[in-house]
Structure 1
Amino acid sequence: MDYMKQERERGITITSAAITFGWKNHRINLIDTPGHVDFTIEVERSIRVLDGAVTILDGVSGVEAQTQTVWAQADKYGIPRIAYVNKMDRIGAGFGRTVKEMHHKLGTRPLVCQLPIMKKDSKGNGLFFGVVDLLDMQVLDWNKDPNGSIINKIPLTEKYPISELFEEAIKGRSSLIEALSEIDDQLLEIFLMNEDPMKVSVEEIKEALRRVTLNGKAVPVFCGASFKNVGVQPLMDAVIDYLPSPLDRPAPLATLSDKNLIEIPLKEKEKLCALAFKVIHDHKRGPMIFVRVYSGKIDNRMTLFNTNTRKKERVNKLLQMYANDVEEIPSITAGNIGVILGLKETRTGDTLIQINDSRQNLKLQSIDIPSPVFFYAVEPTSVSDEKPLEEALKNILREDPSLHVHVDSDSGQTLISGMGELHLEIIKDRLLTEFKVNAEMGKMRISYRETIIVEQLEHTFLYDRELMGKKQKAQVSLIITPLSENDKGIPEEGGNRIVIDIEDKIVNLNSDQQNETNDQNSLITKLDKEEIRDSLHSGILSALYRGPILGFPITGLHIKVHSLKLFGLESTKTAISACVSQAFSEAMKNGVPVLLEPLMDVQVEVPEEHLGNVLADLTGTRRGNILGLETSGQSIDYDHSIEIYTPPDPTYISSDENQGAIIKRIIKAHVPLSTLLGYSSSLRSLTGGTGSFSMRIHSFGIMSEDRAKSVINEMQGGY
């Protein structure tokens, strides 16, 4: 499913890809998402539309730092999950160790449903060749088929060649039923009636596993080696058995214009409601809009209405995706995922309904888009390359909402902002190879922020200009205060809070404030309150986009518009917007503007022997603040009273579950992003390739004077 050239070159998933297939009379819509932190938007928008998830863990690495980030994203949307421990055929794989880490690091309750089977080779190493199904006590052996398509099923008895296997399976099945009985009342009754865990039927266990998975109380765990297709078929069965169908999920909520929440029932005969969750640009087909249909159905040639852009769009074709291959289909029905061709204006997060639907303000919950933290300048190599570059950026921007493009008003350069170094490297590569743009790329930079550090600023501004022969006039008063620590980190308005409190404070005056005649100028403005509020809001947003020091976005402010004077028909939407924008910019000059730098929440996992070098590096040149040290497998809050069953590693060859495991330490720190450029390479060299790290933005911190001067000199020296 990793079909992009860049994905195959780097061996990683960059963009989420969709595929639809059948399994045992069920239809499955699968989306493969990336694991790298730079492409977190791909995970966010996929999880937003999915009903269940399979979390794939590396049997050697266990629960990695980025797994915790993705797990938290799934928690946010309440997505039921099952877990699959992959790469069990590799040396050093530890199934029991990984299960234990799931409990400790993810704070979840893992339920072991399979045991890996190991055999010793001539050198005494354990070779993985199959699994024990703890529900029906069968050995599933793929040993006779190198492609993994044939499963040999053998009932597990005391006579099985690996003597310890039967005893461990009995222990595993008993532990599974006891754990289920603790969290599922229905199975508890069955368990108390039978007393013997081995008498509880397979169907009764499956039903209990489904119930606890759907309500998020536990996570069934399976294992395998996907490269050899070992363990894949039972995992697919588990998807059907334990993960929800669209009918098992709560009905999604949508808002109407009156802010009322309504449920969208999953019925094909209901009115259409669909969410566009991904856009990709195809050079032959044009924009391809991925949609999840929540109710009704989308038919070929149907006319749709986009409630976000307020525009109607016509469906040209409907497609079913198989990664980068397609199949044309007549309709996309409720509960399914598909692709629409022909939509010109639709973007990620837009809600689509039928053109004749009266609910034209209906909006599904949108998708959270994180703020970009890196940027670089891009310039066409010649005048003739300007249009192709503009077109390519427009297409890439539609595809990736976590990417920002804007033109610097001082230098005239086009700046591209993204989530990380790798993110922007991929964009740069795509512009040059896929879109064939002739352009020069500047050095990668940090996207800083600006704010002010005064207690309160109050400013009144009169806007009085003539534009295109028409007079434009308005007067606004506003108060600016820094946000308190408790209010910071607000995602809307770029980390600012905008309050427009003018309900009873709009004064309507004629042009000279004296003339009381009823001429055309003295007429009260025709704008309604909603239009006035929108104009004020957009004016402030445009001013917030560019700070007074280096033109970086402004953050961390509480802006309150508390008074507005209108001057008849001269107070147009443009006049109001320009007035509040200039009022804000002037007020900012009276404050004490400062530069802010992104502080990252960094988690570094390193072997004990390299701990000292990594700590010295973080606290030295990287100006990091160490928050804590933990031993891998002993992090985050979890319930110590819950006993988790974990089979020994390597299974049935040695009872020492720590054999082959390297004790790792986890460093948690806040580090300025500017010092983390190229950190992955540095960490590799410091730890001999054994260290790993993840980071996400924590906050924006005020720069020291010396650091701010250095940044200003660097930035003003040109991009």
Structure 2
Amino acid sequence: MLFYSGLSHCLGEVHKGDTITDYMPQERERGITITSAAVTLPWKKHRINVLDTPGHVDFTIEVERCLSVIDGSVVILDASAGVEAQTMTVWRQADKFFVPKLVYLNKMDKSTANLTLCRQSLEKLGAKPLQIHLPIYEGKTFIGLADIVDMQKYVWSPHSDSGKHFDIISLDPKRDENIFDLCCKNREDLISFLSDIDERLSDHVIHCDKLIDVPSNVILNALRFATIKNLAHPVLCGSSYKNIGVQVLMDAILKYLPSPFERKNEIIRFYGDKLCLLVFKIIHHKILGQLTFARIYSGNLAPSSKVYNVNRGTYEKIHKIYIPFADEFKEVSFLNAGNIVVLSGLKFSFTGDTLTSSIDAMNEAKQRFYENTSSMVDEYKPVLVGIEAPIPVFFCSIEAPSPSKQKDLEKALENLEREDPSLTVTTSSESGQTIISGMGELQIEILKDRLLKEYKIEAFLGPLQISYRESIDESVEETTIVNKIVGGIRNDIEVTLRLKPKINAGIPKKIKVIGNQENDLRKLKFDRIKAIENGMALALNNGPILGFGVVDLEVELLDLKITSKTTNSMLSAAISQCIGNALKKSSPFLLEPVMKLEISFPEKYTKVILSTLSPRRSIIEEIEKKDGYNVIHALTPLSELRNYATEIRTVTSGMANLSMKLWCYQKMNEAEQRKAIESVFGFV
């Protein structure tokens, strides 16, 4: 896309490690995308902001943060494999943000490319795939595609190595008899589906003698409407490696995906024409310092201007603004709504923060919200929807190579944690060690490599451990009495709480206050409730078995006796103590992370792969057959998957492909729980 738009003078290739958007050394060494990259490119008098995202499950946060700011997406599938495990995750993430989608079937030059397989796998996702391209072959060579909307074929010369030049020819029933009838049949199916959605198209169908006579522009408008409303997903095809179909894909982005003005965020209307941005990514550039990536939703932006962070309640000053080109940045003097912008000078903004021009602009937006919703929520802030960081499933200790490097390590980890919301850095209250938690082995490995190459710190990592969760089996009530004098103030507190098991509840964020005529809980002020919830959060962060977070329960406040002099900090401490005591009495147990696996491999290795899964407590859900390959779908505890990717590559001579994602947390039996405790403490 960069080459055809004129921004690049050469074609990069993933397997050669010279692509522009995969600019990190770790990406080029491994031939994979690790971090999202932004590029703004011109195409036919339009500007397209491209965000290239990773496909590996360890870096799913990169996909999430990009989906939060884009107007449309292109889902790229291997035409011989169809929808794979990580595709399902990304598709559901896009659905969460209501992002319209095009589907691009890449690698149509492969002999195993299968349109029917791809369409069926998309339908299993709940998608409505509408085939608008059909591949054209000369013998067994993929040379182009037919567009059934405009009934034209696009043909590339097999002798062209750049793919810049191709012929556009109208389909002819005599000359193109091999594909013309199939195009007509697909066009009729397309019109039949769209006419139920678009009235203008249905009017043309009624007045046309033949469906082939329905004008292309009417079909295009109906298809664009269906795509923007997420009612359908146009399916295109091509071969990026052979340089076939990329320009047609870029045309389709303009034709079918919405412009920034066609997809208005609900919150944006409250800001009117005032400046409103959403921060979605932060990086630390070795020359430019901290750079903040943001999407401008409304208003205009210029350098040296002040912005107000709605989430943090602080003002910051922008020094310079840039347009991104992967790891290069072009300074500009002005940008308006719809653009992806890179800002220097911001120190206190985080991923997911909303920025506006002033506190007055925020208050005006807040007032418009009240007028439109008839709501008087004092704590409401007119903020755009950010991202939700995934739950870390691995953790390990990290140490500096020497005491002199400790501060450098802390600063480096602070930067890396700010860049990646799925990475958490904490300090153990017992040992004082620094603990890093993340999504997988590869993420931790990349972090260690970046510390060495970017920050010149040869950090030592402890053994990688599983991040379990804890929960309870039975309801329990607990009363705690605190009488303490702190700072000359007497704190008298008597609190009664109830813990109740609740399936799939996650970690509770709010406490359930059981107010009645016998207690004064209905009169609790907001600051007191906040203090109670802070105490609850503190207690539930450290379970009684191994100190992991406690989930799947409900906390009820049954009674609370305090005086006006009781401090909020002491109230939080009393709540935390009460919950801690209750957890020990409530038959706590461990929950382990279970991963959903998808393993594809040649059929001859079926028995070998199954033999590697059976001792790993795996549940085989399904075995599919895809053109000489088998695909096993299985659920397996994460603790059983250490070095599994290496093992299956070894036993299949590198022919197997493994993808996995977190599926759920499940209760461990007593034997497995004893093993887990022993692996952490060295004894039960």
TM normalised by structure 2 equals 0.88
Aligned with 1:602 (options 597, 600, 609): 597
Code of the aligned partner of 1:593: P
CA pair 335-266 structure 1, distance change in 2 beyond 3 A? farther
**Partner secondary structure for residue 511 of structure 2:** strand
Code of the aligned partner of 1:347: F
Instruction: Please give the residue correspondences for 1:67-216 in structure 2 after superposition, counting only pairs within 5 Å.
Output: 67-103=87-123, 105-120=124-139, 126-143=140-157, 145-160=160-175, 163-216=177-230
Determine if the alignment matches structure 1 residue 583 to structure 2 residue 602.
no
Determine if the alignment matches structure 1 residue 229 to structure 2 residue 229.
no
Map of 1:264 onto structure 2 = 269
**Partner secondary structure for residue 429 of structure 2:** coil
Aligned with 1:542 (options 528, 538, 541): 538
Is 1:474–1:564's contact at 8 Å kept on the other side of the alignment? no
Instruction: Please give the residue correspondences for 1:371-390 in structure 2 after superposition, counting only pairs within 5 Å.
Output: 371-390=391-410
- With 682-691 and 306-315 compared, the bigger mean Cα shift is at 682-691
CA pair 458-234 structure 1, distance change in 2 beyond 3 A? same
Q: Distance in 1 between matches of 2:606 and 2:199?
A: 47
- Residues 534-557 of structure 1, C-alpha deviations (whole Å, 9 max, x = no match): 222122212221122222222222
Is 1:506–1:566's contact at 8 Å kept on the other side of the alignment? no
Q: Distance in 1 between matches of 2:508 and 2:528?
A: 23
Q: Distance in 1 between matches of 2:42 and 2:270?
A: 25
Is 1:474–1:575's contact at 8 Å kept on the other side of the alignment? no
Is 2:473–2:501's contact at 8 Å kept on the other side of the alignment? no
**Partner secondary structure for residue 708 of structure 1:** helix
Code of the aligned partner of 2:649: R
Q: Distance in 1 between matches of 2:304 and 2:279?
A: 17
Code of the aligned partner of 1:253: E
Instruction: Please give the residue correspondences for 1:643-662 in structure 2 after superposition, counting only pairs within 5 Å.
Output: 661-662=627-628
Code of the aligned partner of 1:549: I
Q: How far off its partner does 1:396 sit?
A: 0.6
Is 2:146–2:152's contact at 8 Å kept on the other side of the alignment? yes
- Residues 381-423 of structure 1, C-alpha deviations (whole Å, 9 max, x = no match): 2111110010011001111111111111112111100011112
Is 1:480–1:557's contact at 8 Å kept on the other side of the alignment? no
Map of 1:531 onto structure 2 = 527
| Overall identity of the aligned pairs, in % | 40
Determine if the alignment matches structure 1 residue 681 to structure 2 residue 636.
no
Q: How far off its partner does 1:237 sit?
A: 0.8
Code of the aligned partner of 1:14: I
Aligned with 1:54 (options 74, 77, 81): 74
Is 2:546–2:677's contact at 8 Å kept on the other side of the alignment? yes
CA pair 500-145 structure 1, distance change in 2 beyond 3 A? same
Q: Distance in 1 between matches of 2:252 and 2:536?
A: 52
Q: How far off its partner does 1:266 sit?
A: 8.1
Determine if the alignment matches structure 1 residue 23 to structure 2 residue 43.
yes
Determine if the alignment matches structure 1 residue 315 to structure 2 residue 315.
no
Q: Distance in 2 between matches of 1:442 and 1:50?
A: 39
Determine if the alignment matches structure 1 residue 631 to structure 2 residue 624.
yes
Q: Distance in 2 between matches of 1:713 and 1:6?
A: 35
**Partner secondary structure for residue 586 of structure 1:** helix
Q: How far off its partner does 1:157 sit?
A: 2.0
Q: How far off its partner does 1:106 sit?
A: 2.3
Map of 2:233 onto structure 1 = 219
Q: How far off its partner does 1:231 sit?
A: 0.7
Determine if the alignment matches structure 1 residue 282 to structure 2 residue 297.
no
Q: How far off its partner does 1:503 sit?
A: 9.6
Is 2:601–2:631's contact at 8 Å kept on the other side of the alignment? yes
Q: Distance in 2 between matches of 1:362 and 1:55?
A: 31
Code of the aligned partner of 2:274: K
CA pair 622-498 structure 1, distance change in 2 beyond 3 A? farther
Q: How far off its partner does 1:455 sit?
A: 2.2
Code of the aligned partner of 1:114: H
Q: Distance in 1 between matches of 2:550 and 2:568?
A: 23
Determine if the alignment matches structure 1 residue 32 to structure 2 residue 52.
yes
CA pair 586-489 structure 1, distance change in 2 beyond 3 A? closer
Is 1:502–1:564's contact at 8 Å kept on the other side of the alignment? no
**Partner secondary structure for residue 173 of structure 1:** helix
Question: How many residues end up aligned between the 2 structures?
Answer: 644
**Partner secondary structure for residue 41 of structure 1:** helix
**Partner secondary structure for residue 316 of structure 2:** strand
Q: Distance in 1 between matches of 2:655 and 2:232?
A: 31
Map of 1:566 onto structure 2 = 562
CA pair 185-591 structure 1, distance change in 2 beyond 3 A? same
Q: Distance in 2 between matches of 1:92 and 1:555?
A: 46
Q: How far off its partner does 1:478 sit?
A: 3.7
Map of 2:502 onto structure 1 = 484
**Partner secondary structure for residue 390 of structure 1:** helix
Aligned with 1:252 (options 248, 265, 270): 265
Q: Which has the higher contact order (CA 8 A, sep 6+)?
A: 1
CA pair 574-506 structure 1, distance change in 2 beyond 3 A? farther
Code of the aligned partner of 2:499: T
CA pair 102-149 structure 1, distance change in 2 beyond 3 A? same
Is 2:238–2:246's contact at 8 Å kept on the other side of the alignment? yes
Is 2:499–2:582's contact at 8 Å kept on the other side of the alignment? no
Q: How far off its partner does 1:60 sit?
A: 2.4
Is 1:385–1:439's contact at 8 Å kept on the other side of the alignment? no
CA pair 503-346 structure 1, distance change in 2 beyond 3 A? farther
Aligned with 2:34 (options 14, 27, 32): 14
Map of 2:443 onto structure 1 = 423
Q: What runs of 5+ residues in structure 2 fail to find an aligned partner? A: 1-20, 364-380
CA pair 609-539 structure 1, distance change in 2 beyond 3 A? same
Q: How far off its partner does 1:501 sit?
A: 5.1
- Residues 7-53 of structure 1, C-alpha deviations (whole Å, 9 max, x = no match): 11111111111111221111211111111111111111111111111
Map of 1:654 onto structure 2 = none
Aligned with 2:429 (options 395, 409, 430): 409
Aligned with 2:355 (options 349, 352, 355): 352
Q: Distance in 2 between matches of 1:46 and 1:478?
A: 45
Code of the aligned partner of 1:74: A
- With 682-691 and 279-288 compared, the bigger mean Cα shift is at 682-691
Q: How far off its partner does 1:614 sit?
A: 3.2
Q: Distance in 2 between matches of 1:320 and 1:685?
A: 45
Q: Distance in 2 between matches of 1:95 and 1:617?
A: 32
Q: How far off its partner does 1:632 sit?
A: 5.2
Q: Detail structure 1 runs of 4+ shifted over 6 Å in the superposition.
A: 502-508
Aligned with 1:439 (options 449, 459, 473): 459
Is 1:478–1:559's contact at 8 Å kept on the other side of the alignment? no
Determine if the alignment matches structure 1 residue 592 to structure 2 residue 587.
yes
**Partner secondary structure for residue 546 of structure 2:** coil
**Partner secondary structure for residue 248 of structure 1:** coil
Q: Distance in 1 between matches of 2:598 and 2:97?
A: 24
Q: How far off its partner does 1:504 sit?
A: 8.2
Determine if the alignment matches structure 1 residue 330 to structure 2 residue 343.
no
**Partner secondary structure for residue 533 of structure 2:** helix
- Residues 204-229 of structure 1, C-alpha deviations (whole Å, 9 max, x = no match): 12111111111222111111111233
- Residues 426-471 of structure 1, C-alpha deviations (whole Å, 9 max, x = no match): 11211222222232111111011222323223222315153xx444
**Partner secondary structure for residue 217 of structure 1:** coil
Is 1:148–1:230's contact at 8 Å kept on the other side of the alignment? yes
Is 2:498–2:558's contact at 8 Å kept on the other side of the alignment? no
Q: CA RMSD in A?
A: 2.6
